[in-house]
Amino acid sequence: MAEPSILIITTAPEDAVEAVLDAIAAAGGGVIGAYTHCAFTNAGVGRFKPSAEANPHVGAKEQINAVDEVRIETFCRRDVAKAVVAAIRAAHPYEEPVIYLVSLLSEADL
């Protein structure tokens, strides 16, 4: 049976993407065989409204902001997922990065 895996999706400003990908790889994410840093990225626009108590990396408090971001899609084994998420949070410039975690099926599970 294949090791259970997690799909991880987050976004980051373009100048932070390499640092986030390096952190993911250092924690054991984005690995396929002899390859590391495996991920899919695409550009998009993040939208958010920070409260008066927030400390936004970009954008203005109490206003709806639209910021150019890069969506990062990668994966990891379930047993390293907690470390990968912690690494993303440590490398990410945002106060509250959005991180989606989705359990994946292996081909053997089909």
Taking Cα atoms as reference points, which of 107, 40, 32, 50 lies closest to residue 71? 40
pLDDT at 107: 84
Instruction: Look at the block and give the residue holding tokens 């409260």.
Output: 51
Mean pLDDT by 10 residues, the chain (110 residues): 86 97 98 96 96 92 96 97 98 96 90
Q: For the chain, what's the residue count?
A: 110
Q: Token match 């993911």: residue? A: 24
Q: What dihedral do alpha carbons 105, 107, 109, 110 form, nearest 10°?
A: 110
* Contacts (Cβ under 8 Å, ≥6 apart) of 110: none
In this prediction, residue 14 carries a pLDDT of: 96
Domain 5-42+73-109 bears CATH identifier 3.30.70.120: yes
Question: Phi/psi at 15 (nearest 5 deg)?
Answer: -75, -5
- The burial of 15, by beta-carbon neighbours within 10 Å (0-12 exposed, 13-18 middle, 19 or more buried), is given as exposed
Using DSSP, state whether 93 is helix, strand or coil.
coil
pTM: 0.90
pLDDT of residue 81: 98
